[in-house]
Amino acid sequence: MAVFIGLDGFRRGWVAVEIAPRRRTIAFWPDIDALWARPFTRAAIDMPIGLPETGDRACDLAARALLRPHGARVFTGARRGLWAHGSQTLANRVLKARGEPMVSAQLWNLGPKIVEIDAAMTPARQRRVIEAHPELVFWRLNGRQPLPRKKDAEGLGLRRALLLRAGFTALDDWLDRARIGTGAKADDVIDACAMALAARDGRACCPDGPAPRDARGLKMQIWY
Protein backbone atom coordinates (compact mmCIF):
# COMPACT_ATOMS: atom_id res chain seq x y z
CA MET A 1 0.00 0.00 0.00
CA ALA A 2 1.45 3.33 -1.07
CA VAL A 3 1.71 5.88 1.75
CA PHE A 4 2.79 9.48 1.19
CA ILE A 5 3.65 11.86 4.03
CA GLY A 6 3.98 15.63 4.05
CA LEU A 7 5.85 17.38 6.84
CA ASP A 8 5.88 21.01 7.90
CA GLY A 9 7.71 22.25 10.97
CA PHE A 10 6.03 24.16 13.79
CA ARG A 11 7.28 25.32 17.17
CA ARG A 12 6.50 22.06 18.98
CA GLY A 13 7.60 19.65 16.28
CA TRP A 14 6.18 18.59 12.92
CA VAL A 15 2.74 18.58 11.35
CA ALA A 16 2.47 15.27 9.47
CA VAL A 17 -0.21 14.72 6.83
CA GLU A 18 -0.53 11.22 5.41
CA ILE A 19 -2.17 10.18 2.15
CA ALA A 20 -3.00 6.48 1.78
CA PRO A 21 -5.40 4.73 -0.64
CA ARG A 22 -8.39 4.74 1.73
CA ARG A 23 -7.55 7.41 4.26
CA ARG A 24 -5.99 10.79 4.88
CA THR A 25 -4.79 11.61 8.37
CA ILE A 26 -3.02 14.33 10.30
CA ALA A 27 -0.70 13.99 13.29
CA PHE A 28 1.56 16.25 15.33
CA TRP A 29 4.99 14.74 15.99
CA PRO A 30 7.52 16.01 18.53
CA ASP A 31 10.51 15.15 16.34
CA ILE A 32 11.52 13.68 13.00
CA ASP A 33 12.26 10.26 14.50
CA ALA A 34 8.55 9.47 14.19
CA LEU A 35 9.03 9.34 10.41
CA TRP A 36 11.65 6.60 10.51
CA ALA A 37 9.46 4.53 12.84
CA ARG A 38 6.68 4.03 10.28
CA PRO A 39 6.38 2.55 6.76
CA PHE A 40 5.99 5.04 3.93
CA THR A 41 6.55 5.22 0.20
CA ARG A 42 7.78 8.79 0.02
CA ALA A 43 7.84 11.81 2.30
CA ALA A 44 8.27 15.48 1.49
CA ILE A 45 9.68 17.98 3.97
CA ASP A 46 9.46 21.76 3.92
CA MET A 47 13.07 22.23 5.04
CA PRO A 48 16.39 22.37 3.20
CA ILE A 49 17.92 18.99 2.48
CA GLY A 50 21.52 19.24 1.36
CA LEU A 51 23.51 22.22 2.56
CA PRO A 52 26.51 23.95 1.01
CA GLU A 53 29.46 25.11 3.09
CA THR A 54 29.23 28.60 1.58
CA GLY A 55 27.02 30.57 -0.80
CA ASP A 56 23.44 30.05 -1.97
CA ARG A 57 21.87 26.86 -3.26
CA ALA A 58 20.99 26.87 -6.95
CA CYS A 59 17.62 25.24 -6.16
CA ASP A 60 16.61 28.14 -3.90
CA LEU A 61 17.47 30.66 -6.59
CA ALA A 62 15.57 28.65 -9.21
CA ALA A 63 12.52 28.43 -6.91
CA ARG A 64 12.64 32.18 -6.35
CA ALA A 65 12.63 32.73 -10.11
CA LEU A 66 9.52 30.57 -10.54
CA LEU A 67 7.66 32.44 -7.80
CA ARG A 68 8.38 35.96 -9.04
CA PRO A 69 7.22 38.52 -7.94
CA HIS A 70 7.06 36.62 -4.64
CA GLY A 71 10.52 35.06 -4.75
CA ALA A 72 11.30 36.19 -1.19
CA ARG A 73 8.95 33.45 0.03
CA VAL A 74 11.90 31.11 -0.52
CA PHE A 75 14.65 31.76 2.01
CA THR A 76 18.24 31.65 0.79
CA GLY A 77 21.50 31.35 2.68
CA ALA A 78 21.13 28.03 4.53
CA ARG A 79 24.65 26.68 5.05
CA ARG A 80 26.00 23.76 7.05
CA GLY A 81 27.58 24.85 10.31
CA LEU A 82 25.84 28.22 10.33
CA TRP A 83 23.98 27.58 13.60
CA ALA A 84 27.10 26.34 15.37
CA HIS A 85 27.92 30.01 15.97
CA GLY A 86 25.22 30.11 18.65
CA SER A 87 23.57 33.44 17.84
CA GLN A 88 22.50 35.35 14.75
CA THR A 89 24.70 38.27 15.77
CA LEU A 90 27.84 36.14 16.04
CA ALA A 91 27.02 34.22 12.86
CA ASN A 92 26.62 37.47 10.92
CA ARG A 93 29.87 38.81 12.33
CA VAL A 94 31.69 35.72 11.03
CA LEU A 95 29.90 35.84 7.66
CA LYS A 96 30.68 39.52 7.22
CA ALA A 97 34.36 38.87 7.90
CA ARG A 98 34.30 36.19 5.20
CA GLY A 99 32.58 38.50 2.72
CA GLU A 100 29.48 36.26 2.62
CA PRO A 101 25.81 37.33 2.72
CA MET A 102 24.49 37.58 6.28
CA VAL A 103 21.67 35.43 7.60
CA SER A 104 18.14 36.83 8.04
CA ALA A 105 16.18 36.48 11.27
CA GLN A 106 13.61 34.29 9.47
CA LEU A 107 16.23 31.82 8.32
CA TRP A 108 18.08 31.90 11.64
CA ASN A 109 14.90 30.97 13.52
CA LEU A 110 14.49 27.88 11.32
CA GLY A 111 17.88 26.67 12.53
CA PRO A 112 16.76 23.98 15.00
CA LYS A 113 14.57 22.31 12.35
CA ILE A 114 17.23 22.61 9.63
CA VAL A 115 19.87 21.11 11.93
CA GLU A 116 17.47 18.31 12.96
CA ILE A 117 16.84 17.34 9.34
CA ASP A 118 20.49 17.67 8.34
CA ALA A 119 21.54 15.35 11.16
CA ALA A 120 18.92 12.75 10.17
CA MET A 121 19.39 12.72 6.40
CA THR A 122 21.63 10.39 4.41
CA PRO A 123 21.87 9.75 0.65
CA ALA A 124 20.09 6.43 1.25
CA ARG A 125 17.20 8.09 3.08
CA GLN A 126 16.99 10.73 0.38
CA ARG A 127 15.78 8.08 -2.04
CA ARG A 128 12.42 8.27 -0.24
CA VAL A 129 12.56 11.68 1.46
CA ILE A 130 12.48 14.77 -0.73
CA GLU A 131 12.63 18.48 -0.08
CA ALA A 132 9.62 20.41 -1.34
CA HIS A 133 8.27 23.93 -0.95
CA PRO A 134 4.57 24.60 -0.28
CA GLU A 135 4.52 27.85 -2.22
CA LEU A 136 5.72 26.02 -5.33
CA VAL A 137 3.07 23.33 -4.82
CA PHE A 138 0.30 25.93 -4.54
CA TRP A 139 1.71 27.79 -7.53
CA ARG A 140 1.42 24.53 -9.51
CA LEU A 141 -2.10 23.80 -8.23
CA ASN A 142 -3.14 27.35 -9.13
CA GLY A 143 -2.22 26.95 -12.79
CA ARG A 144 1.29 28.33 -12.24
CA GLN A 145 -0.15 31.63 -11.12
CA PRO A 146 1.06 33.52 -8.02
CA LEU A 147 -1.11 33.50 -4.90
CA PRO A 148 -1.71 36.23 -2.31
CA ARG A 149 0.12 35.99 1.02
CA LYS A 150 -0.88 32.96 3.08
CA LYS A 151 -1.10 35.15 6.20
CA ASP A 152 -3.96 37.12 4.64
CA ALA A 153 -7.55 35.87 4.61
CA GLU A 154 -7.66 35.87 0.80
CA GLY A 155 -4.46 33.88 0.45
CA LEU A 156 -5.40 31.39 3.15
CA GLY A 157 -8.85 30.96 1.62
CA LEU A 158 -7.46 30.28 -1.84
CA ARG A 159 -5.03 27.68 -0.51
CA ARG A 160 -7.87 26.04 1.42
CA ALA A 161 -9.99 25.90 -1.76
CA LEU A 162 -7.14 24.33 -3.73
CA LEU A 163 -6.66 21.67 -1.06
CA LEU A 164 -10.39 20.88 -0.89
CA ARG A 165 -10.33 20.45 -4.65
CA ALA A 166 -7.35 18.10 -4.21
CA GLY A 167 -9.37 15.83 -1.91
CA PHE A 168 -8.63 17.08 1.60
CA THR A 169 -12.28 16.94 2.66
CA ALA A 170 -11.43 16.89 6.39
CA LEU A 171 -9.30 20.03 6.18
CA ASP A 172 -11.61 22.25 8.23
CA ASP A 173 -11.75 19.63 10.99
CA TRP A 174 -7.94 19.45 10.93
CA LEU A 175 -7.69 23.22 11.23
CA ASP A 176 -10.02 23.15 14.24
CA ARG A 177 -7.98 20.34 15.80
CA ALA A 178 -4.74 22.25 15.31
CA ARG A 179 -6.14 25.30 17.09
CA ILE A 180 -6.86 23.31 20.25
CA GLY A 181 -3.66 22.78 22.16
CA THR A 182 -1.22 21.63 19.47
CA GLY A 183 0.65 24.91 18.96
CA ALA A 184 0.31 24.54 15.18
CA LYS A 185 -1.11 27.38 13.11
CA ALA A 186 -3.51 27.16 10.19
CA ASP A 187 -0.75 27.74 7.64
CA ASP A 188 1.33 24.92 9.19
CA VAL A 189 -1.52 22.48 8.51
CA ILE A 190 -2.12 23.83 5.03
CA ASP A 191 1.58 23.66 4.15
CA ALA A 192 1.81 20.06 5.42
CA CYS A 193 -1.07 19.13 3.11
CA ALA A 194 0.84 20.68 0.21
CA MET A 195 3.89 18.64 1.18
CA ALA A 196 1.83 15.45 1.08
CA LEU A 197 0.76 16.29 -2.47
CA ALA A 198 4.39 16.91 -3.41
CA ALA A 199 5.31 13.51 -1.98
CA ARG A 200 2.54 11.80 -3.97
CA ASP A 201 2.54 13.76 -7.23
CA GLY A 202 5.74 15.76 -7.46
CA ARG A 203 7.81 14.97 -10.50
CA ALA A 204 9.26 18.31 -11.46
CA CYS A 205 12.10 19.82 -9.49
CA CYS A 206 14.31 22.79 -9.68
CA PRO A 207 16.82 23.44 -10.93
CA ASP A 208 16.37 21.31 -14.04
CA GLY A 209 18.95 18.69 -14.81
CA PRO A 210 21.12 16.62 -12.45
CA ALA A 211 20.97 17.95 -8.90
CA PRO A 212 24.20 19.19 -7.35
CA ARG A 213 25.26 17.39 -4.18
CA ASP A 214 26.67 18.75 -0.97
CA ALA A 215 29.79 17.53 0.83
CA ARG A 216 27.84 14.67 2.40
CA GLY A 217 26.44 13.50 -0.93
CA LEU A 218 22.93 14.91 -0.40
CA LYS A 219 21.11 16.21 -3.45
CA MET A 220 20.16 19.89 -3.34
CA GLN A 221 16.84 20.13 -5.20
CA ILE A 222 13.29 21.27 -4.50
CA TRP A 223 10.27 19.27 -5.66
CA TYR A 224 6.77 20.55 -6.28
In this predicted model, what pLDDT tens digit does every residue of 16-35 receive, in sequence order? 999 999 999 999 999 999 99
Sequence ranges of the domains in the chain: 4-223
pLDDT of 209 = 80
In this predicted model, what pLDDT tens digit does every residue of 143-181 receive, in sequence order? 999 899 888 889 999 999 999 999 999 999 999 999 888
Q: Please state the φ and ψ torsions of residue 4, each to the nearest 5 degrees.
A: -120, 135
pLDDT of 19 = 98
pLDDT of 203 = 80
pLDDT of 141 = 96
pLDDT of 120 = 96
Which residues of the chain are under the pLDDT cut of 70?
Answer: none
pLDDT of 146 = 87
